[in-house]
Amino acid sequence: MERKTGNRMLLVNGYLMQGEGEELRFERKEMIVEEGKILKIGDNLRDYWTTACHNEGDVCDLGGKWVIPGLVNTHNHAAMSLLRCFSDDKRLMEWLSQKMLPAESRMTAEDIYWGTHLAMAEMVRSGTTAFADMYIEMDHVAEAVAESGMRASLSRGMAFLDERGEERLREAIQLCDRWHGACDGRITTMLAPHAPYTVPPERLQQIAAIARERKIPIHIHLAETEEETIKIGDRYGLTPTEYLYESGVFEGNHVLLAHAVHVSEADLSLLSGMRGGIAHNPVSNNKLGCGIAPVEAFLKRGITVGLGTDGAGSASSLDLFLTIQAAAWMQKVTHRDPTRLSAKQVLTMATASGADLLAIGDQTGRLEVGKEADLTILNPHAPHLIPHHDLPSLVAYAANGSDVDSVMVAGQWLMRKRELLHVDEERIIYEAASRARRIVDGL
């Protein structure tokens, strides 16, 4: 979906999320969107609309709804929506080797295309406008993203455990060449060595060097399980974080680290000052029994933290509001301190910080003049959102994906009043359900 030039809209009677961190607040403001970007935010913009814009465009009365930046999902394997709740209540390595990998080996490129569409329908319905995806058959994933209207940072996952490693690297570079900046910039790319335990040192060094030379961000799993920490320690005498550091991954590169559950004090020192940051996946990590990432320690050291769902094959849900709640509550209970990771902090992680991690923070993630008009609009009139004592707390702790009324990316409505506008949702559900049955049959 390409941007429509000349598109203009005045949004009135809404409460806009402004600021970040402890300065985050909701203010009753009006907004003008023009050619996909936020042109103006202020009070009483109708005079400007009449004189400067000549009343050309749509006036949208939000009826008191809440407007937040589109949510950013910083780590996903979208096509794994086809494996939702296929194999639960298992340890990660058992879940991966006995169920996920055999099922994934049966997936065709068309399966991945429809699985990605299913994930994006779920994400748009629950307010997500951008996501980072690591998977295979990424040309088909990119085609689905192009059709959906969402933003995505796409990467071809690369493991080097067999003779096909060089082929995977070639596909990863081709993806960057073909799709980076496509669809008016909605699609960006990264290089994705899968994890420390699937990428040997010489390959990791090679990918880090390519990323530096071509200024391509890196997306990699890190320290998701204690088993990984033991495996890397036995193999190299290092922690997983030290292994990446010694391989030059952080040297001059923007790096998106997924999980980072098991990190030491020494690891934290190595991560301080890194470009990029951590994709925190609390629902997936805890459903798989991996543990709770030290988010407070990351933030204290100035390390950027965003929120991810991981794939629906592990997390079951791609609703980032569930992730927002889990992230805050798990830090509070871990430290036995209700002041840890406040509503304002976690909302910042889900929006501005997430955009920064995807290396698109100069374009989106904040409701500011000049930024892309990526908006999530919440209906505040449901019983579980009444009364309106504290809007950041309500959005962080009480809202859920079904409260999302409308979603916009680059000034184009992807969902309006709960109706998906750019995809055939009925077809997506049919294709996904029928293909999923074939994939898991007999496993």
- The answer to the question of residue 2 being in a domain is no
User: Span 142-169, mean pLDDT?
Assistant: 97
Residue 211 lies inside a defined structural domain of this protein: yes
63, 134: one domain: no
Q: Which residues contact 3 (CB under 8 A, 6 or more apart)?
A: 35, 36, 184, 410, 411, 412
With respect to residue 438, please indicate whether it lies within any of the assigned structural domains. no
Taking the C-alpha atoms of residue 326 and residue 349, their distance in angstroms, rounded to an integer, is 13
Please tell me the pTM assigned to this model.
0.97
Among 357, 387, 408, the domain boundary falls at 357
pLDDT of amino acid 239: 98
Domain boundary among 357, 382, 403: 357
Kindly state whether residues 152 and 298 are assigned to the same domain: yes
1: in domain: no
CA distance linking residue 325 with residue 332, whole number of Å: 11
pLDDT category at 3 given cuts 50, 70, 90 is very low
Where is the domain boundary, 306, 332, 357?
357
Are residues 17 and 80 both part of a single domain? no
Which strands, in side-by-side order, build the sheet including 275-280?
218-222, 254-259, 275-280, 304-307
Q: What is the mean pLDDT of residues 207-235?
A: 97
Percentage of residues of the chain with pLDDT beyond 70: 99
Are residues 408 and 330 part of one domain? no
Q: CATH number of the domain that 214 lies in? A: 3.20.20.140
Contact in structure between 263 and 294 (CB atoms under 8 Å) = yes
Range of the domain at 236: 71-357
142 pLDDT above the threshold of 60? yes
Q: Do 177 and 97 reside in the same domain of the chain?
A: yes
Look up the CATH number of the domain holding residue 413.
Answer: 2.30.40.10
> By C-alpha distance, which of 23, 51, 8, 116 is closest to 428?
116
Question: Pairing between strand 187-189 and 151-158?
Answer: parallel
Q: What is the pLDDT of residue 116?
A: 98
Residue 106 reports pLDDT greater than 70: yes
Question: pLDDT per residue over 341-381, tens digit each?
Answer: 999 999 999 999 999 999 999 999 999 999 999 999 999 99
Looking at the structure of the chain, the number of domains it has is: 2
Average pLDDT, rounded, for the chain: 96
Contact between residue 355 and residue 363 where contact means Cβ atoms under 8 Å apart: yes
Q: Is the pLDDT of residue 1 over 80?
A: no
